[in-house]
């Protein structure tokens, strides 16, 4: 057995610095989804937007001051209210989306509620329009120009088994009926819309509502698909997780390329990034087997990192300490935010003559062994919050991480270089 | 020193003695039995006797109408005029009924007749299959929060399953039972057993989730049918699990060894 490696690789890439809380905001509501970070008025000022189980949308500035709150509570009569799960009747279960629908240079905020109402608010939190579907809206709303007419369409699925397409003014253009409720946020690929349903199907339909293909998984598909050029060429692929515990990669025609098995349901959209500089995209995602996975473009596991509870929220890929290396940011139901080394960690199971040197960080491409070790996830930092983490988002300019917890706290965590 | 557990009597003479005085207050009890084994009568009798002692109970009937129930209980000899019994046949009446119960010094039973409500609103579109479960939860929560209600009977779990489809029974029943426990009510869930008595509940998960199971059954004896009762399980209770004959005499239920029919 021949083993070659450099000293740098043995010692690994040690990170300096720490994560520090900049502020914490108590919404006194229950939060169910990640926040959305945006510049609503194109002034360079970032806003933090999030919905609550109680049916409110909060807009905070970057210092956690409340800019406005919108209450999406619908008036219902005395009988109708008895038929509702009162605690969650108005809940907002997905992140709000933003888009300049009116063309005035300011962005509108669009979101759906459990009562089946989609709202568009202006940048001041005032309603622009609302649309009532027949069933709950639990997934996110996507806003894109699907038909290529230069105007955006507002697309979302509903518990009434319909995929709705509205114009920028909130008027129904088209709806497409499927055989089960839709809780996944759709994704758009050119003029096609891809979404999952609660009977495990992934549908691809045209803007006119024509079914192009379907793919069947074995349980509910609640995650949003992600589309990417996995192998670095022009071919695009659809990557989507299912609660049947598999991550699926399909080609543009809906044919299965590969599937990757985890031990838990996959609830959220995967992230795509070239984390090992191989000019191909790797897939990073969380599962309810408590693990964060990094899978290569061929569906082979690169590494996984195990937390203490489910990972339901999407992960973020970013270089938070600006050292030229990517990190993976994942919030867990175990209340902790984990920052992982995107390249993982190579663990040597046995190295003759090097007893005691068992771990190194970084690329393993220059290590030639006959299976002397394996890749695992490597935690760089960990930050404990006060509740189940339902999602996080990043302020790109400052690299601050905004964490939403189910308990209603919004934490702003920032990277800080190690002090002397 | 062992903490004394507050108990709610079943008002079945002999059975309470077999359970250290009754079922622990706040427990969720499955009352399981074949048709005609007096599940509704036994559970209503608990609410009735507690109401005679000034307590408030909630009885939600999913199929049997209030009139049918009332007639049956009157035939049994229960003096319903001695308590404040309040039917709810229209959900808009719930506030009014709660107001009456709050302002009444005698014990009360609120009977929510879901069967009649269902008939009234049969043409109204209901959003999803959890709607009737939501109605039950909302009524329970409202009554519990606004009155001093301490007892709840759901008649029956089996009927609830036909009204509300449980996609994932294990998960959904867990949350439903936890909801009932959080309400801090002593709850009796009536479960219709198949004639072959092969299981106490539809999904059998209810057996594990409940704090206690009281089993009622009909047993042929010569040319008679004997009603029998037994405590299958009762958490936090040192109980006698023997099978008793169940008889109703002089306005009172009795659990007997033998009874009208001799022990073999």
ipTM metric: 0.76
CA-CA-CA-CA dihedral for B162, B163, B164, B167, to nearest 10: 30
State the smallest CA–CA distance between residue B92 and chain A in angstroms. Answer: 6
Of B152, B93, B153, B133, nearest to A83 by C-alpha is: B133
Chain A residues touching residue B60 (CB < 8 angstroms): none
Instruction: Decide if B127 and A78 are in contact by the 8 Å CB cutoff.
Output: no
CA–CA distance from A400 to each of A46, A62, A63, A412, A414 (Å)?
11, 10, 11, 6, 5
Q: What is the pLDDT of residue B262?
A: 57
Q: Burial level of A25, CB count in 10 A (0-12/13-18/19+)? A: buried
Contacts of A116 in chain B (CB under 8 A): 127
Chain A: give the shortest CA distance to residue B49, in Å: 29
CA distance A236 to B48: 69
B92 CB within 8 Å of a chain A CB: yes
Residue showing tokens 């909630």:
B58
Query: Which residues of chain A register pLDDT less than 50?
Result: 1-12, 355-357, 363-369
Using the Cβ of B130 and the Cβ atoms of chain A, whether some distance falls under 8 Å is answered with yes
Q: How far is B183 from chain A (nearest CA, A)?
A: 15
Neighbours of B224 (CB within 10 A): 9
CB-facing half-sphere around the CA of B206: CA atoms within 13 A: 26
Q: Which runs of consecutive H residues, i.e. helices, occur in chain B?
A: 39-52, 66-76, 94-102, 114-120, 131-146, 157-163, 169-182, 205-209
What pLDDT, on the 0 to 100 scale, is given for residue A88?
Answer: 84
Best of A74, A76, A78, A79 to mutate (most B CBs within 10 Å, chain B): A79
Taking the C-alpha atoms of residue A392 and residue A331, their distance in angstroms, rounded to an integer, is 7
Whether residue B168 lies within 8 A of chain A, CB to CB, comes out as no
For residue A2, the model assigns a pLDDT of 37
Rounded Cα distance, A158 and A195, in Å:
11
Question: What's residue A132's pLDDT?
Answer: 95
The Cα–Cα gap between A2 and B251 comes to 91
pLDDT at position A3 is 41
Q: Pick from B198, B208, B195, B109: which is nearest to B149 by CA?
A: B109
Q: Is residue A224 helix, strand or coil?
A: coil
The sign one gets for the Cα dihedral B166, B170, B171, B173 is positive
DSSP conformation letters of B69-93: HHHHHHHHT--GGGSEEEEESSGGG
Q: In which residue ranges of chain B is pLDDT below 70?
A: 1-3, 121-130, 259-264
- pLDDT for B124: 56
Which among A305, A306, A304, A310 has a CA at the least distance from the CA of A334?
A310
* Signed CA dihedral, A245, A330, A240, A116: sign only: positive
Chain B neighbors of A79, CB-CB under 8 A: 91-92, 121, 124
Contact status of B91 with chain A (Cβ, < 8 Å): yes
CB contact under 8 A, B138 and A84: yes
CA nearest B137 in A: which residue? A85
Question: Residue A78, CB half-sphere, CA atoms under 13 Å: how many?
Answer: 8
pLDDT, position A349: 67
Closest CB from A82, A116, A135 relative to B138: A82
- Of B128, B138, B139, nearest to A159 by CB-CB distance is B128
User: What is the nearest CA distance from A225 to chain B, expressed in angstroms?
Assistant: 24
Q: What is the pLDDT of residue A360?
A: 53
Whole-number pLDDT of residue A7: 38
| Per-residue confidence (pLDDT) for residue A95, from 0 to 100 | 97
- B222/A322 Cα distance (integer angstroms): 88
Q: What is the pTM of this model?
A: 0.80
CA distance A385 to A252: 40
Say if the Cβ atoms of B134 and A78 lie within 8 Å: no
Beta strand pairing call for B252-256 and B244-249: antiparallel
Q: Can you give the pLDDT at residue B156?
A: 93
pLDDT value of position B128: 55
In this complex, do B134 and A85 lie within 8 Å of one another by their Cβ atoms? yes
Number of Cβ atoms within 10 Å of the Cβ of A356: 5
Q: Specify the DSSP element, H or E, that contains A39.
A: none
- Alpha carbon of B33 to those of A70, A321, B261: distances in Å? 51, 66, 21
């Amino acid at each position: 057995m021949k083993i070659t490696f450099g000293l740098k690789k043995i010692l690994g890439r040690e990170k300096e610095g720490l994560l520090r809380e900049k502020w914490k905001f108590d919404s006194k509501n229950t939060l169910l989804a990640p926040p959305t970070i945006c510049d609503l008025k194109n002034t360079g000022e970032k806003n933090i937007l999030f919905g609550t189980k109680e049916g409110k949308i909060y807009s905070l500035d970057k210092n956690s001051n409340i800019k406005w709150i919108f209450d999406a509570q619908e008036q219902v009569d005395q009988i109708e209210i008895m038929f509702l799960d009162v605690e969650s009747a108005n809940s907002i279960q997905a992140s709000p989306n933003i888009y300049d629908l009116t063309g005035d240079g300011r962005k509108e905020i669009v979101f759906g509620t459990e009562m089946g109402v989609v709202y568009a608010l202006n940048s001041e939190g005032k309603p622009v329009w609302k649309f009532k579907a027949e069933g709950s809206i639990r997934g996110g709303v996507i806003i894109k120009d699907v038909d290529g007419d230069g105007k955006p369409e507002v697309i979302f699925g509903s518990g009434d088994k319909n995929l709705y397409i509205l114009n920028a003014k909130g008027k129904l253009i088209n709806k497409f009926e499927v055989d089960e409720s839709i809780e996944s946020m759709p994704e758009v690929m050119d003029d096609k819309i891809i979404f999952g349903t609660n009977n495990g199907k992934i549908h691809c339909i045209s803007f006119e509502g024509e079914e192009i293909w379907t793919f069947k998984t074995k349980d509910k598909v609640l995650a949003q698909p992600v589309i990417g050029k996995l192998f670095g060429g022009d071919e695009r692929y659809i990557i989507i997780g299912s609660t049947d515990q598999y991550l699926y990669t399909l080609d543009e025609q809906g044919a299965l390329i590969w599937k990757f098995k985890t031990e838990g349901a996959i609830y959220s959209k995967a992230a795509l990034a070239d984390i090992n500089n191989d000019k191909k995209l790797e897939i990073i995602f969380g599962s309810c087997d408590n693990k964060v996975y990094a899978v290569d473009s061929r569906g082979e596991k690169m590494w996984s990192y195990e937390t203490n509870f489910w990972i339901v929220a999407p992960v973020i890929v970013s270089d938070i300490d600006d050292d030229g290396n990517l990190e993976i940011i994942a919030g867990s139901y175990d209340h902790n935010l984990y920052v992982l080394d995107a390249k993982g960690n190579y663990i040597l199971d046995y190295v003759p003559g090097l007893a005691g040197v068992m771990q190194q960080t970084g690329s393993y491409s220059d290590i030639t062994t006959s299976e002397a070790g394996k890749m695992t996830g490597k935690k760089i930092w960990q930050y404990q919050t006060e509740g189940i983490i339902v999602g996080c988002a990043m302020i790109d300019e400052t690299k601050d991480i905004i964490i939403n917890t189910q308990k209603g706290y919004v934490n702003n965590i920032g990277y800080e270089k190690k002090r002397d | 020193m062992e903490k004394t557990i507050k108990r709610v009597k079943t008002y079945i003479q002999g059975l309470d003695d077999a359970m250290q005085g009754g079922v622990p207050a706040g427990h969720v009890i499955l009352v399981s039995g074949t048709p005609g084994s007096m599940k509704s009568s036994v559970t209503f009798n608990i609410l009735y006797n507690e109401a005679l002692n000034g307590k408030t109970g909630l009885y939600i009937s999913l199929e049997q109408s209030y009139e049918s129930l009332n007639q049956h209980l009157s035939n049994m000899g229960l003096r319903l005029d001695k308590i404040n019994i309040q039917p709810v046949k229209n959900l808009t009446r719930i506030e009014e009924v709660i107001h009456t119960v709050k302002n009444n010094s005698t014990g009360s039973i609120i009977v929510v007749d879901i069967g009649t409500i269902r008939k009234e609103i049969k043409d109204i579109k209901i959003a999803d299959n959890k709607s009737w479960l939501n109605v039950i939860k909302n009524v329970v929560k409202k009554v519990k929060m606004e009155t001093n209600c301490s007892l709840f009977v759901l008649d029956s779990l089996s009927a609830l399953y036909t009204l509300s489809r449980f996609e994932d029974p294990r998960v959904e029943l867990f949350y439903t039972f936890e909801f009932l426990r959080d309400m801090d009510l002593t709850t009796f869930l009536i479960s219709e057993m198949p004639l072959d008595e092969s299981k106490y509940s539809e999904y059998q998960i209810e057996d594990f989730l409940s704090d206690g199971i009281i089993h009622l059954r009909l047993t042929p004896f010569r040319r008679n049918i004997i009603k029998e009762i037994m405590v299958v399980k009762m958490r936090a209770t040192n109980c006698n699990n023997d099978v008793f004959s169940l008889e109703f005499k002089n306005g009172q239920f009795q659990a007997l060894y033998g009874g009208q029919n001799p022990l073999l």
